[in-house]
Amino acid sequence: MSMTNTLLRSELRLPEVTDVYRGKVRDVYRLADGRMVMVASDRISAFDVILPRGIPHKGQVLSQVSWSMLQATRDVAPNWAVAMPDPQVIVGMACIPVKVEMVVRGYLSGHAWRQYEAGHRVLCGAAMPDGLKESDPFPQPIITPSTKADEGHDEDITPAGILTAGLCTKTEWETMERYALALFARGSAIARSRGLILVDTKYEFGKTPSGEIILIDEIHTPDSSRYFHLEGYEQRQRNGEAQQQLSKEVVRQWLISGGFMGKEASRCRTWMTHSFTA
């Protein structure tokens, strides 16, 4: 597949643009009338570093999945999305982001497994019981929040740490916690109806001008979530086999094999550039 037909940077010429923010994957345009235009690029990131090459049609897939999921969960939590004028563009309400990522985990995988394997039984204030194997379900989903960094690496944080740092109020935290668990339950049901298991995902919230907490950004996409194939899951667990995934974990594992986990960005970019061009 050709890797040249990718959108790595958007350049929208829109009237009344007051601010442009380019994240790891999305370009966000704020308009003077209180709307926001979000363009999903074909960039891919891992451990908070953007890889040198994009993936054709990735942005289209992310936007279309996210739009569909936002519509399917409006009764669970209010969200920012208003219209989708293009397969890679969603228009919605501009909000003040809460600088917290609400990571919900239903299964022991990824970052949680790496911490568990290292002997930790508490992650971001959430207890992980003894006796679990990789990819086992938790007794009930847990929330392991992280800070939402404007630049650099997001960091694990506890709910108490969030309140101490003033990232949100206690009432706002309780609202986000309630929404996140309800969204995860709905996402899990949708996934199972399609032969998938929603393993873990992240939700981001913002405040409207009136102070209401609403869901923002993407939801239940392969970029923000980890999925297992439902068929054969139990057998693979019994046999101690790796689960079949739909996620960015294959990219993370490739980076880990090169000794990178997001803490030395300049070294990683040099290594990735050499790996992609070798």
Q: What is the pLDDT of residues 50-60, one digit of tens each?
A: 888 888 999 99
Q: Tell me the whole-structure pTM to 2 decimals.
A: 0.86
Residues 85 and 114 in one domain: no
- Give how far Cα 150 sits from Cα of 48, 96, 98, 105, Å: 11, 13, 12, 24
Last residue within a domain, chosen from 93, 114, 132: 93
**Domain presence at residue 237:** yes
Residues 21 and 129 in one domain: no
Residues 105 and 240 in one domain: yes
Of residues 266 and 53, the one with the higher pLDDT is 53
pLDDT of residue 274: 46
Range of the domain at 201: 96-252
pLDDT of residue 153: 60
272 pLDDT band (50/70/90 cuts)? Answer: very low
**Domain presence at residue 146:** yes
Residues 27 and 112 in one domain: no
Residues 102 and 233 in one domain: yes
Q: What is the pLDDT of residues 211-240, one digit of tens each?
A: 999 999 999 998 899 999 999 999 999 999
Lowest mean pLDDT among 187-191, 194-198, 249-253: 249-253
Q: Which amino acid is at 156?
A: D
Overall domain count for the chain: 2
Which three-class secondary structure string do you get for 75-142? CCCCECEEEEEECCEEEEECCEEEEEEEEEEEECCHHHHHHHHCCCCEECCEECCCCCCCCCEEEEEE
Check residue 60 and give left, alpha or beta (phi > 0: left; psi -120 to 50: alpha): alpha
Residues 112 and 247 in one domain: yes
Residues 113 and 225 in one domain: yes
**Domain presence at residue 66:** yes
pLDDT of residue 263: 52
Residues 87 and 110 in one domain: no
pLDDT at 255 over 90: no
pLDDT at 83 over 60: yes
Residues 89 and 149 in one domain: no
Residues 115 and 82 in one domain: no
Average pLDDT on 85-114 reads 96
Residues 151 and 211 in one domain: yes
Beta-bridge partners for 83: 91
Work out the mean pLDDT of the chain and round it to a whole number: 90
